């Protein structure tokens, strides 16, 4: 089927089987491999993308559902001025170990800060609770989101 949607700020039209998973469409067809897949069943958050600004799991969405939506993947977060403040904070805080969970963590944090611009540390942990880090580097990830809050304030 023909699908029209906005991907990382650009209108695109493509033809794809309507039942292909969004994570596969992004990675295999569109070569946007920043979106990761780990569990494939909604438990890990690796495949998080933003759909109309809300974090969603691209392993549990089918291509047909993208019609008319606005999608942001990790590749679309930076702009001409540079990295998104959350990305910058992850770099500054050293919140990356193996990096596999990072795209999902960053997008979950962007969604959280959009809803709650000044979260407490426990609200940050709750906001990221759908994203697993198998390196267990959670402290620095939470540090990074806290840093992004203050960066955006400053």
Partner 1 sequence: MREVFLPRTLDELWDLLRRRPEAVIYAGGTDVLVKLRAGLIAASSLICLERIEDLQGVRDQGDEVYIGAATTHRTLLADPVIQEHFPILIQALSVLGSPPVRNMGTIGGNVVTASPAGDTLPPLYVLDAEVEVRWSDGAKRLPLSQFILGPGKTSLGPGQLLAGVWLRKSADYNVHHFEKVGQRKALAIAVVSLAALLKVSDSGRIDQVRLAWGSVGPTVMRSGEVESALEGRVISRETLDQAAALAQTAVSPIDDIRASGAYRRTVAGNLLLRLINYAR
Distance CA 120, CA 46 (A): 23
Smallest separation (angstroms) from partner 1 to the CB of 75: 19
User: Sheet holding 48-51: strands in order across?
Assistant: 10-15, 2-7, 70-72, 48-51, 54-57
Binding mask of the shown chain, residues 79 to 118, with x at each position contacting partner 1 by CB under 8 A: -----------------------------x--xx------
Single residue of 61, 95, 106, 124 touching partner 1 by CB under 8 A: 61
CA angle 27, 31, 36 (to 5 degrees): 35
| Closest approach of partner 1 to the CB of residue 135, in Å | 17
Cβ atoms of 50 and 84 closer than 8 Å: no
Q: Which stretch binds partner 1 (CB under 8 A): 11-19, 30-38, 82-90, 141-149?
A: 11-19
Contacts with partner 1 by CB under 8 A lie at 17-19, 21, 40-43, 45, 48, 54-57, 60-65, 67, 108, 111-112, 126-127, 129-131
């Amino acid at each position: 089927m023909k699908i029209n949607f906005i991907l990382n700020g650009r209108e695109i039209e493509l033809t794809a089987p309507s039942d292909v998973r969004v994570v596969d469409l992004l990675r295999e067809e569109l070569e946007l491999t920043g979106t990761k897949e780990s569990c494939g069943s909604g438990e890990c958050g690796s495949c998080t993308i933003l759909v109309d600004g809300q974090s969603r799991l691209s392993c549990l969405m089918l291509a047909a559902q993208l019609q008319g939506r606005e999608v942001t993947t990790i590749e679309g977060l930076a702009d001409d001025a540079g990295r998104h403040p959350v990305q910058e904070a992850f770099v500054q805080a050293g919140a990356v170990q193996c990096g596999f969970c990072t795209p999902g963590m960053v997008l979950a944090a962007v969604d959280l800060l959009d809803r709650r611009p000044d979260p407490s540390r426990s609200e940050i942990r709750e906001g990221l609770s759908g994203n697993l880090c198998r390196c267990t580097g959670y402290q620095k990830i939470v540090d990074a989101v806290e840093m992004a809050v203050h960066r955006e304030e400053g």
